[in-house]
Amino acid sequence: MVDAGSFFKAIDKNPVQYFIIHYSSEMLFDENLEGHSPRITSIVVMHYPTAQTQSFAFHLSADLLNIRKDDIDANLDEIEMDLLSRFYKFARDRRLMNWIHWNMRGQLFGFEHLEITVTVH
């Protein structure tokens, strides 16, 4: 575990290396999930020193895929896969960077959940 003082000193030494990430998903205990992992609905990444933000959102993927609002429910897997594919392409190019997150440490909420979702859907 890193103490706060060391953490902020490391960031100050090389801020260009840091990205802040957060994501949202369906409700974890939604009875409509029927045992499936909660669907990822958005991922937001901010480059720490520039505050430039990249958003990977469900609605944006639907727009990019030219899926009409009335057709979204019939294309949920395709939309989510597009969102995750665009995020992983972005992350792959920055895989050697440091990623700051809030409690993203497990199968239910974290990088592992993002990865599992890609392979399941």
> pLDDT at position 45, please?
95
CA distances to 20, 90, 96 from 15, in Å = 11, 18, 13
**What is the rounded CA–CA span in Å between residue 121 and residue 118?**
6
Pairing between β-strand 40-47 and β-strand 18-25 as defined by DSSP bridges: antiparallel
Q: Print pLDDT tens along the chain (121 aa).
A: 567 778 888 888 889 999 998 888 876 555 555 556 778 889 999 999 999 999 999 999 999 999 999 999 999 989 999 998 999 899 888 988 888 877 665 555 555 555 554 444 4
pTM of the model: 0.76
> pLDDT at position 50, please?
95
